[in-house]
Structure 1
Amino acid sequence: MHRKKTIIRSGSSFPLGAHWDGAGVNFAIFSANATKVELCLFDNGGRRELERVQLPEYTHEVWHGYCPDIRPGQLYGYRVHGPYAPEAGHRFNPNKLLLDPYALALYGDIKWHDAVFGYRVGHSREDLAMDRRDSAFVMPKCVVVDPAVTWGNDIRPDVPWCETIIYETHVKGMTARNQDLGERVRGTFAGLSDERVIERLVKLGVTSIELLPVQAFFDDRYLVEKGLSNYWGYNTIGFFAPAARYISPGGSIHEFKMMVRKLHEAGLEVIMDVVYNHTAEGNHLGPTLSFRGIDNASYYLLGDDPRFYFDTTGCGNTVNLRNQRVLQMVMDSLRYWVQECHIDGFRFDLASALGRDRENFDHNAVFFEAVRQDPVLSMVKLIAEPWDMGPEGYQLGNFPPGWAEWNDQFRDTTRSFWKGDEGMAPALSSKLLGSSELFEKRGRRPWASVNFVAAHDGFTLNDVVSYNEKHNEPNGEDNNDGHSANYSWNCGAEGESNDPTVLDLRDRLKRALIATALLSQGTPMLLMGDEIGRSQQGNNNSYCQDNETTWLSWEKGSERDEAFQVFVQKLIKVRKSRKLLRQEKYVHDQPAHGTSSTEPQWLRPDGQALEAKDWNEAQMRTMGLLLSGPTERICILLNAHFEDIPFTMPPSESGWSVLVDTSSGEASVNSVRPVSDASLILPARSLIVVEDNNG
């Protein structure tokens, strides 16, 4: 019995993608340079191509057709015809099955084979020699989706920026080792939405979780051949589809939406780490999976020689946001995640690449302007990783109003200060007050500085105080990958240690580091597991370690780890309870109240104001920051010296009380103890917060 031939009508050029309207499916795909586009339909297992249907219409550079007989669940892909002329920037090859850039779901995973390359691998002419093998048998397939889902009374937490505390986490890493969860849901969206997981986040006190990439991505061929995988996920191939590996067996893409709803119910925001600067197709010798075969010259920035790519990402290619249709795809993708999936914000990987006009970065680039005027996207949290690999790629502080930025200078300065490096006090003083020299322009606020001492890329907090050198041998690159400048100190023993003296010093430094991040002006960010001493055994580039190296342990930790977790929880409570520690404006911008100055005051250990000559003293490692408000006065005292230092307290009619003491691991919103004398002993390697009893 022969299969009935699919009916196809002209359809519409809008919306792009495969759109189910309740009666049929409209297919629309942009390609300015193609000569013909074929829709390929597959059986339910994705193994057999059932039919090829030519899209009948071409309107405004969009190929489209409407199929009244197709329903949600149909597997499909495209074959796009046109010139195979890499020397002219065109890489059309209809032998290669291509993924729809707008696909809402993918079925199956890529099986690495030379057939997925548009050229003959190993040929003497490299990518100039066209490969004519069909790639469908090793390619995943797109899925027609009905996106409708019942959200109920989902309410966005809408946490103000000045109240935000970010927890950077990984969907799989968060729950893969949680034995309390069923094996089916560990490491999935469903696992992350389990009430026990959410309870842990709520108890910690964070307000927003930032997920490492969850848009569809593939494991790089070179990693698969080494028995590794792309754990972090910065290898996107589908900007609308959730990564299938995070959907539980038998589940659907709606698991992601249900996760968001449950996190919202607990008052937690969901921020997505997104990669719009490059795709998984790599350089000119990379595979042909989607964009390259649909319209290479439109989707990517090409070099002066159009055979090669203009690459500012270090990943082989750069997405061409100067093309209106490519820009539209990115904007449509962002709006999809906000409107259809209720996402609360985005962290943009290598965001400098999004603001480039090839060599030059422009804070008024078309992408930034498009986001700024968009009524949907301008209202969510936007966070930039403010650098890329191109010329003048480091752009910290140069993003437009409405954006926050990862402040790596905060990380490096804070690590260096507590390690005991000379001359770090002036730099740290700026970071404690929100890095105004970087961000205070065009009406930007202190929250624009995302303050962290550890993130997924680099050492964990525990490893910052446990290793002098990176130990990336398991990555299979002879320890040549990852940063060598870690500003870390092993406290006298490289790696794990049983020496109580070493462990005590490490605990003290960890408390000082995390307190600096949580008590500085700006937006604090914690790395998953730092609150319980998670270690990666010195691996500072764990992008390919999908194992216990990177997974969070749910087993009861040591007494030290348990105590540190409690300390972090209390620190967060202190931050939330004192407005002076999370101010909405730069402190010198606020008006004085009566006779109380809101200007921050920097103090020497003798209680006198720090002078210019003091700041120029390389050995200065002890200082106090006095913050004043209409009803509060708080002093943050820091001592990075190797010995205890007496510190004379500022005058107070009612005396002072200690709120935080990192030397002992004490913190309380109601005070730890009173300061009995005019002078307080500031222990070595410690940060102490005191509060005026009279406000």
Structure 2
Amino acid sequence: MKDALKNFSAVPEGPFSATGEIAGYPVRPGLFLLNGANVVPGGVSFTIHSVSAASCELCLFRRGEEEPFAVLPFPEHFRIGNTFSMIVFGLDIHEFEYAYRMDGPWDPARGLLFDPTKYLLDPYARAVTGQSVWGSSRHPGQAYHARVVEDVFDWGDFSDPHLRFQDMIIYETHVRGFTRHPSSGVSCPGTFEGLLEKLPYLLELGVNAVELMPVFEFDEVADGRTVDGKQLLNYWGYNTVCFFAPNTSYTAAVEYNREGTQLKKLIRTLNEHGIEVILDVVVNHTAEGDHRGPFFSFKGLDNNIYYMLTPDGSYYNFSGVGNTLNCNHPMVRQFILDCLRYWVVEYRVDGFRFDLASILGRDSDGSPLAEPPLLESLAFDPILGRVKLIAEAWDAGGLYQVGSFPSWNRWAEWNGKYRDDLRRFLKGDEGMAWAAVERICGSLDLYPPDKRQNASVNFLTCHDGFTLYDLYAYNQKHNEANGWNNTDGANDNNSWNCGAEGETDDPAVLSLRERMAKNAFTVLLCSRGTPMFLAGDEFGNTQMGNNNPYCQDNEISWMDWSRLESHQQLFCFVKELIAFRKAHPVVRGKTAPAGCGWPDVSLHNGVPWNKEIDGCTRQIGVLFAGRNQEDTQDDLVLLAINAHWEAHWQQLPELPAGMKWRLVLDTAQPDSFHPQRPFDGSGLQLEGRSAAVFTAEKV
């Protein structure tokens, strides 16, 4: 006891003086309005709540030990309403871990699962112990513990970029997979530090927003399996263990009681260089799963409140992984709001992408709500007032809300229809030309500008599905390594292998694949809306045909940086295309009217001013016109695409006097951004499966 009380002399007088003693520790009622564990002068305030619990115990552990060295029951007068709060004095925060035990009714039919023998992780924990070594196994039944975190990070004169949605170019990546491959050349592979080492690369590429796949603490070994001698892990991280704690296995060094420091450094440094950071958050389910899953937090607090339950106490499964958070219950809604506010205030993140966001709009019985309270709260919260809110507007229960997600003009959406329509058009499917025009012009059929501003996040690839290279290298998914007999992953990929399945030495096939990738990037970066692409697509990264590598912590998922050299031409093309988009605001969104009197958007399908699709079923021409505010010069950009396998002529509209057309890029040529073939300014023969971009300039 003497060692445990070595800081007893530090117990202060005054407002934080002890009023009693429990298990040899000076204590007093805690800070009821501050959830979690918070350092106060001389002690730590522990606060947790439960509606149905009869009693609560605080359990203290020495670092790395599984049995507590002290158990402190909360006295009844340390409880207000449904909240337990206690300040414990004399603790050395660097030497202990903590968890809770709750007692109460056990009635599974009513969803009540209180078990006083279970150690429960604090939902508001700022750090989770035992997670700092990637892939290290926790033995069955081992409890999660939490640590107290000291916030000592100095943000200095921090100021984030506050980019407009239409000016963003989002780069989606996995923290570990971005640099884990030996070819990455970084000193701290697979970590926040490793990602930061690649900052010069990100700046050269030109992206200005990085969307990080889950960085909340998750348990990568929870569903571990062995297939063909390889250990499979929950690599992606869509199984949250704790919503307030960063994933400590992504740090380059253990950060005892300083957890989050390296992530904060990463965010601050990226922001200082004009790159915003968006977190992919999973607030639709947890790693506790269904009745077969582990029991470590919400199940033992208020299982019937935090999870959607059927009338017989079973778990609704709109997430596809066992359970579904009851997001629109007032307590759960407040918890999610507290979580996101915390990440904005303490980590200064610039936005959130919400996994399976349609779940956030479901009622406790699973029915969709017209005006979900949670989504409204997030839309109007003052702390979240300037962060980006991006919804994956569907869920595993079949609710698909692309174009109809409740927004209050604050929510953007991953535009799944953009992906599907453009994939089909670009590979040459009949009858997709008009849908392609709609998507390129900003999907005004889905997001009328008077109702939905900046709502469309355009993408052709993301972590879930084929990489861009694989999109044009495989007709079918090849997920055998996942161990599910190739039954997992999407079947509707709208892909095309260009004549050979998988890897090939055929130069004609390889050339066509690169052209198809260039076409895809040209369309994506010349479309109105916010473009997003998967890290590595810019240099032909492959997953060997696996379109669902959620469990592959190996070369299937890791970015192979050696392909940057072998696909240097594609990388340079994407880099120049990003710079082109930044230089032409008329592509990104509506600007001041052009002086020539041309409309903001016009169609030139094959010939000037042709809005008809008949006869041009695989060929379109889209012209964006506006005025550059900096020099009052007209900014005219014409995107022409021929998705047919035969060549077609693209006639250009006649320009006002004093201007001429310039051919900016032609994907039919190897050096696409520096076209060598003659161009007389009146039109261009578009080769089969190619795209071209023209701008107008003064004579």
Equivalent position of 1:204 in the other structure: 205
Contact 1:20 1:71 in 2 (8 A): no
One-letter amino acid of the structure 2 residue matched with residue 412 of structure 1: D
Equivalent position of 2:438 in the other structure: 430
Which secondary structure state, in structure 2, belongs to the residue aligned with residue 436 of structure 1? coil
Change in Cα spacing, 1:151 to 1:178, as seen in structure 2 (3 Å) is farther
Equivalent position of 2:219 in the other structure: 218
One-letter amino acid of the structure 1 residue matched with residue 669 of structure 2: S
Change in Cα spacing, 1:60 to 1:597, as seen in structure 2 (3 Å) is farther
Equivalent position of 1:131 in the other structure: none
Aligned-CA RMSD value: 2.1
Residue 403, structure 1, aligned to residue 400, structure 2:
no
Q: Residues 340-355 of structure 1: matches in 2 within 5 Å? A: 340-355=346-361
Q: Residues 394-543 of structure 1: matches in 2 within 5 Å? A: 394-400=401-407, 401-440=409-448, 443-445=451-453, 447-543=454-550
Aligned partner (choices 649, 654, 660) of residue 651 of structure 1: 654
Aligned partner (choices 87, 94, 106) of residue 66 of structure 1: 87
Structure 2 spans left out of the alignment, 5+ residues? 6-23, 628-633
Deviation at 1:556, TM superposition (A): 5.9
Aligned partner (choices 637, 653, 657) of residue 634 of structure 1: 637
Which secondary structure state, in structure 2, belongs to the residue aligned with residue 293 of structure 1? helix
Change in Cα spacing, 1:389 to 1:557, as seen in structure 2 (3 Å) is closer
One-letter amino acid of the structure 1 residue matched with residue 642 of structure 2: N
Equivalent position of 2:373 in the other structure: 366
Which whole-Å CA distance do the structure 1 matches of 2:239 and 2:172 have between them? 18
Contact 1:41 1:76 in 2 (8 A): yes
Contact 1:658 1:673 in 2 (8 A): no
Q: 1:444-495: CA deviations, max 9, x gaps? A: 22x3111111100000000000000000011011100000110000011000
Which whole-Å CA distance do the structure 2 matches of 1:190 and 1:303 have between them? 44
Aligned partner (choices 55, 61, 64) of residue 45 of structure 1: 64
Contact 1:452 1:525 in 2 (8 A): yes
One-letter amino acid of the structure 1 residue matched with residue 169 of structure 2: I
Change in Cα spacing, 1:22 to 1:686, as seen in structure 2 (3 Å) is farther
Aligned partner (choices 583, 606, 609) of residue 577 of structure 1: 583
Change in Cα spacing, 1:217 to 1:581, as seen in structure 2 (3 Å) is same
Which secondary structure state, in structure 1, belongs to the residue aligned with residue 622 of structure 2? strand
Residue 89, structure 1, aligned to residue 114, structure 2:
no
Change in Cα spacing, 1:516 to 1:337, as seen in structure 2 (3 Å) is same
Which whole-Å CA distance do the structure 2 matches of 1:536 and 1:179 have between them? 16
One-letter amino acid of the structure 2 residue matched with residue 272 of structure 1: L
Deviation at 1:305, TM superposition (A): 1.4
Equivalent position of 1:311 in the other structure: 317
One-letter amino acid of the structure 2 residue matched with residue 17 of structure 1: G
Aligned partner (choices 328, 332, 336) of residue 338 of structure 2: 332
Equivalent position of 1:6 in the other structure: 25
One-letter amino acid of the structure 1 residue matched with residue 648 of structure 2: I
Which secondary structure state, in structure 2, belongs to the residue aligned with residue 213 of structure 1? coil
Q: Residues 113-262 of structure 1: matches in 2 within 5 Å? A: 116=141, 138-177=142-181, 185-194=188-197, 197-219=198-220, 221-224=222-225, 227-251=231-255, 252-253=258-259, 254-262=261-269
Structure 1 spans left out of the alignment, 5+ residues? 117-137
Q: Which piece of structure 1 moves more, 341-350 or 52-61?
A: 52-61
Q: 1:10-38: CA deviations, max 9, x gaps? A: 21321110011243111111100001111
Q: 1:621-657: CA deviations, max 9, x gaps? A: 1121122213122211110111211222111243310
Contact 2:171 2:207 in 1 (8 A): yes
Which secondary structure state, in structure 2, belongs to the residue aligned with residue 155 of structure 1? coil
Which whole-Å CA distance do the structure 1 matches of 2:678 and 2:276 have between them? 37
Change in Cα spacing, 1:621 to 1:154, as seen in structure 2 (3 Å) is same
Equivalent position of 2:9 in the other structure: none
Contact 2:219 2:239 in 1 (8 A): yes
Contact 1:19 1:25 in 2 (8 A): yes
Q: 1:247-277: CA deviations, max 9, x gaps? A: 2233342111111111122211111000000
Change in Cα spacing, 1:455 to 1:238, as seen in structure 2 (3 Å) is same
Q: 1:288-344: CA deviations, max 9, x gaps? A: 0111011111211111212x0122111211111233222111111101111111111
Which secondary structure state, in structure 2, belongs to the residue aligned with residue 262 of structure 1? helix
Which whole-Å CA distance do the structure 2 matches of 1:578 and 1:607 have between them? 22
Aligned residues: 657
Change in Cα spacing, 1:182 to 1:413, as seen in structure 2 (3 Å) is closer
Which whole-Å CA distance do the structure 2 matches of 1:694 and 1:360 have between them? 58
Contact 1:655 1:694 in 2 (8 A): yes
Which whole-Å CA distance do the structure 1 matches of 2:209 and 2:309 have between them? 38
Change in Cα spacing, 1:426 to 1:180, as seen in structure 2 (3 Å) is closer
Contact 1:591 1:598 in 2 (8 A): no
One-letter amino acid of the structure 2 residue matched with residue 433 of structure 1: C
Which whole-Å CA distance do the structure 1 matches of 2:217 and 2:254 have between them? 18
Aligned-pair identity in percent equals: 40
Equivalent position of 2:13 in the other structure: none
Which secondary structure state, in structure 2, belongs to the residue aligned with residue 596 of structure 1? coil
Q: 1:118-155: CA deviations, max 9, x gaps? A: xxxxxxxxxxxxxxxxxxxx123100111231112222
Which secondary structure state, in structure 2, belongs to the residue aligned with residue 655 of structure 1? strand
Contact 1:104 1:240 in 2 (8 A): yes
Deviation at 1:568, TM superposition (A): 0.2
Which whole-Å CA distance do the structure 2 matches of 1:332 and 1:548 have between them? 37
Equivalent position of 2:597 in the other structure: 596
Residue 295, structure 1, aligned to residue 296, structure 2:
no
Contact 1:570 1:667 in 2 (8 A): no
Q: Which piece of structure 1 moves more, 164-173 or 361-370?
A: 361-370
Aligned partner (choices 661, 679, 682) of residue 666 of structure 2: 661
Which whole-Å CA distance do the structure 1 matches of 2:323 and 2:608 have between them? 56
Equivalent position of 2:611 in the other structure: 610
Contact 2:328 2:360 in 1 (8 A): no
Change in Cα spacing, 1:671 to 1:523, as seen in structure 2 (3 Å) is farther
Which whole-Å CA distance do the structure 1 matches of 2:553 and 2:205 have between them? 25
Which whole-Å CA distance do the structure 1 matches of 2:496 and 2:382 have between them? 47
Deviation at 1:361, TM superposition (A): 2.5
Change in Cα spacing, 1:255 to 1:13, as seen in structure 2 (3 Å) is same
Q: 1:215-259: CA deviations, max 9, x gaps? A: 011135443465211111000010000012112233342111111
Q: Which piece of structure 1 moves more, 30-39 or 215-224?
A: 215-224
Which whole-Å CA distance do the structure 2 matches of 1:395 and 1:571 have between them? 27
One-letter amino acid of the structure 2 residue matched with residue 208 of structure 1: A
Deviation at 1:8, TM superposition (A): 2.4
One-letter amino acid of the structure 1 residue matched with residue 623 of structure 2: L
One-letter amino acid of the structure 2 residue matched with residue 390 of structure 1: G
Change in Cα spacing, 1:676 to 1:391, as seen in structure 2 (3 Å) is closer
Q: 1:362-418: CA deviations, max 9, x gaps? A: 352111111122111121011100001225344444230111111111111111111
Which whole-Å CA distance do the structure 1 matches of 2:675 and 2:452 have between them? 33
Which whole-Å CA distance do the structure 2 matches of 1:498 and 1:384 have between them? 41
Deviation at 1:48, TM superposition (A): 3.7
Which whole-Å CA distance do the structure 2 matches of 1:577 and 1:591 have between them? 16
Which whole-Å CA distance do the structure 1 matches of 2:533 and 2:44 have between them? 44
Which whole-Å CA distance do the structure 2 matches of 1:49 and 1:364 have between them? 46
Contact 1:404 1:448 in 2 (8 A): yes
Contact 2:592 2:626 in 1 (8 A): no
One-letter amino acid of the structure 1 residue matched with residue 118 of structure 2: K
Which whole-Å CA distance do the structure 2 matches of 1:29 and 1:312 have between them? 28
Equivalent position of 1:133 in the other structure: none
Change in Cα spacing, 1:594 to 1:362, as seen in structure 2 (3 Å) is farther
Which whole-Å CA distance do the structure 2 matches of 1:605 and 1:459 have between them? 31
